[in-house]
Structure 1
C-alpha cells in the first residue's frame, strides 16, 4: 500500500494528484491553512483534474481527500466577502455546481476520504461523491443557517443522499453530525479509525478497479439517470441499458469466466 502524500502546510498547487496504485488516482485538497475551503482557484484546479481523468481510460477509480486538520470547510467566505456583488456570486455558485455535477458525470467512481470537518460545500462535496469513508472523528454539517446563508446548493446533493427529514434537520439546525450518525442516515458508507482511513478508501478503489471499466461506467451513468425518472420509465430505461450491456464483449467474457470458473480478462468494450 502507498502512503498518503506528505504535504508541506504551505504547499501548492491547491490540488495534488498521485497514483497510490495502478488504475487509482488520489486527489488531495491542499489549502490546509484555510481548512481546504473551496476558493475559485481550488475549484478550478479540481475541475481541471476531473476533466483530465474523464478522458483517461487507464484510471478506474478516484479518491478525493484533503490535507491538514479537516476535509473541507465549505466556500471561502473571506474570498466571497472580498468580491461582493450578484455577478460574482452567480459565477461562484455556477462554478461549484458544475464541479459537483462533473463528479457525478465522471465515468470513474469517486470516493470521498473524510477526516476532520466537512461542512457546507464541503459536505456537498462528500454527498456528490459516489462513495464515502470517514474517520471516527469526522464531523458533517450544513451550517449556513447559522450565518444567515441557507445551504441551498449543498441541499441539492444532500437531499439526494439522505431522507427529507434528515436533510431538513441538518439544513435547519446547522448542527454538526458525528460520523456514526452520518453513516446511519446514509451520507457516508463506512466509519473507520483514523489510522485505517487510507486503507479503507484504497480498499473501495481497489475493488472497483478490478471490475470491467465499461460495466462500471455504464452502471454509474444509469444509476443517476434512473433516479430522476418515474418507476415505469426507469424500468424501460434500465432494460435498454441491460440489453446494451449484455451485448458488450466484457459481459460475454464475464459470463464465460464465471461458467468456466476462471478470472475474467476485461477489455473495456
Structure 2
C-alpha cells in the first residue's frame, strides 16, 4: 500500500516480511523531504499498522542518498500563512507521536543525512541504526528558523547541552557521535547496515509479542511520571504481563530448557 503524489510515483513504499514491516521514504530527488503528501502517507500507514496484529516490528528506511532532509522548504515557502504553518507542524508532530504510540518497536535505518525534521524522525523512533556515512543536524537555524519541534525529540534522546549546541549552531554530527550521545543505538559500516537492522528486528520478533506490547507502552508512559507513580504503574503492568499465557509459557520453557512457543497477538 502506498500514497501517490501528482507524478504517480510511490512516495512511500511498504514491504511486509515475516512480521517485519519496512516503510521506505521514496522522494530521493528531494532528499526524502517531508512534504504534505509524505506526511499524509506516513500517517495513513502508521494508522494501519497500529491495528495490524501481524506486525511485530517496523523499520523506517529511505531511498537515495539521504535519509530525510526535513520539511519541504520549497512547499512551505509557497504558503506564507500562520494557519497553514500551524497545521503543518501539528500534522508532523502527530506523525512523530504515532511512531511512539505504535504497539511494536520502530527501528530507523539511517544511511545518509538526517536533518531538521529528519533528525526528529530518527529521535522519534524507538531504536536507530546508522551507517558511518550518516550525518545528523537540526539546521533550521541556518535559514533563520529555530528547530522547535525537532528539539522535542532531540532533547529526549541527547543530553540537553549537546542538543542545545546542535540547535543553535546547526552543525552536523557524525554517526559515531550520534551513537555516543544516544541519538542512535549503533553505527556500522555502510555495507553492514542492512544486516545490523535485520539482526535487531529478528531479536525483537523472536520475543513474546505480548511482552513487547506491554513494555513499549509502559516505557514511554512511566517516563512522564514521578518515581513513586512510575514504580506503582510498572508493578501493575508487570503483574498483568505475568498473568498472560506467554509469560507462563516462557517461564516453563526456561525451567524445562526448551525454546518458548509464543501465542500470536490478539
TM-score, with normalisation over the residues of structure 1? 0.94
Give 1:75-224 correspondences, 5 Å limit: 75-224=71-220
Q: Which residue is equivalent to 1:14? A: 11
SS in 2 for 1:13: coil
Distance in 2 of aligned mates of 1:60 and 1:111: 12
SS in 2 for 1:107: coil
Contact 1:11 1:30 in 2 (8 A): no
Equivalent residue in structure 1 for 2:230, among 231, 234, 239: 234
Distance in 2 of aligned mates of 1:199 and 1:44: 30
TM-score, with normalisation over the residues of structure 2? 0.95
Structure 2 unmatched runs, 5+ = 1-6
Measured after TM superposition, the shift of residue 53 of structure 1 is 1.0
Distance in 2 of aligned mates of 1:152 and 1:207: 35
Q: Which residue is equivalent to 2:3? A: none
Give 1:246-261 correspondences, 5 Å limit: 246-261=242-257
Q: Which residue is equivalent to 1:37? A: 33
Distance in 2 of aligned mates of 1:255 and 1:147: 56
Q: Which residue is equivalent to 1:7? A: none
Contact 1:36 1:71 in 2 (8 A): yes
Distance in 1 of aligned mates of 2:9 and 2:235: 47
Distance in 2 of aligned mates of 1:234 and 1:170: 31
CA deviations 1:40-93 (Å, max 9, x no partner) are: 100110111111111111110000000001100000000000111011101100
CA deviations 1:5-35 (Å, max 9, x no partner) are: xxxxx8821100112x300111100000000
How many residues are paired up?
Answer: 259
**4+ residue runs of structure 1 moved beyond 2 angstroms?**
none
Distance in 2 of aligned mates of 1:112 and 1:11: 26
Distance in 1 of aligned mates of 2:50 and 2:202: 18
Structure 1 unmatched runs, 5+ = 1-9
Distance in 2 of aligned mates of 1:128 and 1:18: 21
